[in-house]
A and B are shown apart, each in its own frame.
Chain A
């Protein structure tokens, strides 16, 4: 069977953990500024060491518990994790559920705790379901971070991902600007789950606050993209007076684009948009069938989480951790071209590591 990189046996039993001198720590490490930590450490000790600027450390094992382990959205996330792990000389495990099954994810977390994982990251898709495992992990001295989805009541040390409610609010504002008035459908694959619901709530919040004459309804689709496509198709056929169709997740957004293309909805004045940069969605933006997609930088969700975990381990918990907002970027017809024309590891569409060249001024 294939093992993840490195020998796990090294980690078992004895941990050789040497702490950085306090002076290095005090050199202004900003919360979430892990890059600053690396720079400071590198500047402070120009030690040629094959472990990089850090003293020798065991190949720590960082366990990532995910709710849709096979979902393409998380492929760039996994690349981000892999790159960060390679950079820092640590190992990761990608586990969880394929079907957003909270019990399965809890089992995976408990196994990671029993296996003395060095750090755990979990998508907190359920408001309460992870409270107990997180507390157990913390009590056992294992740092826990949340990524991609968050629960405010959970005791996790930090959240790395998009501010979901805020992104929803911004989408809501854009919906008001695009649609003006009329019937709007907002699709959600798994209602109530914390990776999607706050976006919908944020959008409804903005729409309501704007006072516009918009009747927005939440339509539940399905976690699997194929099933959600059929549902959105059926919805449109039954509601052909709809003025806007928007998705709260990658699959639904892609499918709104496909339905818009199928029935030529853009020319009929029906607006559409949503989240994440699946290839079909980007094409739809380019061809005018989606007005926008919102990027939440899945690569960074993986990359920065590993950085936070490493910083925590290396500093014995003295550094950080802090929430990292991986950003919210509207991609529209004007800005979609470079994304379409490149297939990169950072978007998840290619496996090879590359440096993507760019030139020219950086637009807004």
Chain B
């Protein structure tokens, strides 16, 4: 499978704190990568560098094999990199279609630049149907949806903006089994398309191994373990982490 995004030797510090200490990873088109690790390990920083929110102190990111400078979120977006944050970045008081088109609104009226509500509604509906998400109406306020539906809308927004590299920050956090099913099925459908690379930060080892093709484990800003999901298990990952705890407690 062709490579979608690759990071080499990413170093990033915030003041005295070294968040990433020479991290390298890669994801291929049609592949799903799970990024595991404790809080503060550096997972979020890695994602934020891939989305252009932060810039690395040193290291290089490659998209489709070509080196790129992700100087801003807009620059990353232009290359097809979209992120769904933990807080979902949805505005509760706005409708589904408004949220889906936030900052990419469709306009009409020439110089007047008026919002084209009709076109946005239509496209939002189509986008949701395409990835198999069912809602009663795209006019519903996002605040009125369930947790799973909101997550799905956030993902749909990213996908409908022609995302080729989709980054998901803890998509299944705080979700019950049934809601989680909704998202897992959605990710499966996206994977099946074969043209999107998905990077997913997660906490739940068992779930992640089920959903993803490969996993990496981030500890103290470094990648300490990498494997295909089929070739490892939750116990193995747990053991690595336990070893670290014991070492820390021993001082």
Asked whether any CB of A lies within 8 Å of a CB of B in the complex, the reply is no
